[in-house]
């Protein structure tokens, strides 16, 4: 039997610095340039930290990087840098391949800026919900495939 009086999730135990609307890529879709944004949460603990890229759901029609703030904050307070990203959607004329390319672009951007955000670039994971879960899975299974690596920071790995 589960003890309802047992340990509970506690937030607010660790100071977190938040960066909002950081542009990580500006791809062109159907002739239109799009500025893709991310929100980052960096726990104020010593040393470089593992990175988790959060990919929201939205039926491939919406991709709001501000979603699920409470869950992301809890993870950040456990000692992880959490980056919640926008990605191109079908509403913008993007394909599913474009969404995977966007996640990989965010990973490369964050590896290129690891010092600025106190990230350990050797420890990168992806986490997604619904459509974001699909993109997280595809990000991992396409490690090393060049056709998904487009845009900026191509000297950085997008592998997770």
Identify the CATH assignment for 16-148 out of 3.40.50.1820, 2.60.40.420, 3.90.550.10, 3.40.50.40: 3.40.50.1820
Residue 79 has a pLDDT of 94
**Cα–Cα distances in angstroms (integers) from residue 40 to residues 54, 116, 117, 142, in the given order:** 10, 12, 9, 24
Mean pLDDT of 122-149: 96
Residue 12 has a pLDDT of 74
Instruction: Tell me the two tokens of residue 96.
Output: 């599913």
Tens digit of each residue's pLDDT (9 = 90 or more) over 74-133:
999 999 999 999 999 999 999 999 999 999 999 999 999 999 999 999 999 999 999 999
Quick check: 67 and 84 in contact, CB under 8 A? yes
Tens digit of each residue's pLDDT (9 = 90 or more) over 24-42:
999 999 899 999 999 999 9
Separation CA 43–CA 81 (nearest Å): 6
């Amino acid at each position: 039997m589960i003890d309802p009086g047992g340990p509970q999730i506690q937030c607010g135990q660790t100071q977190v610095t938040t960066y909002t609307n950081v542009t990580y890529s500006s791809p062109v879709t159907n002739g239109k340039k799009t500025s893709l944004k991310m929100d980052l949460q960096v726990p104020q603990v010593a040393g470089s930290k593992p990175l988790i890229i959060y990919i929201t759901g939205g039926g491939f029609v919406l991709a709001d990087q501000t979603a699920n703030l409470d869950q992301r904050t809890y993870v950040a307070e456990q000692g992880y840098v959490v980056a919640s990203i926008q990605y191109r959607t079908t509403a913008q004329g993007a394909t599913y391949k474009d969404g995977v390319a966007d996640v990989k672009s965010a990973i490369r951007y964050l590896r290129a800026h690891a010092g600025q955000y106190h990230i350990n670039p050797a420890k990168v994971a992806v986490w997604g919900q619904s459509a974001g879960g699909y993109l997280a899975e595809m990000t991992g299974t396409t490690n090393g495939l060049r056709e998904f690596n487009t845009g900026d920071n191509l000297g950085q790995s997008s592998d997770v």
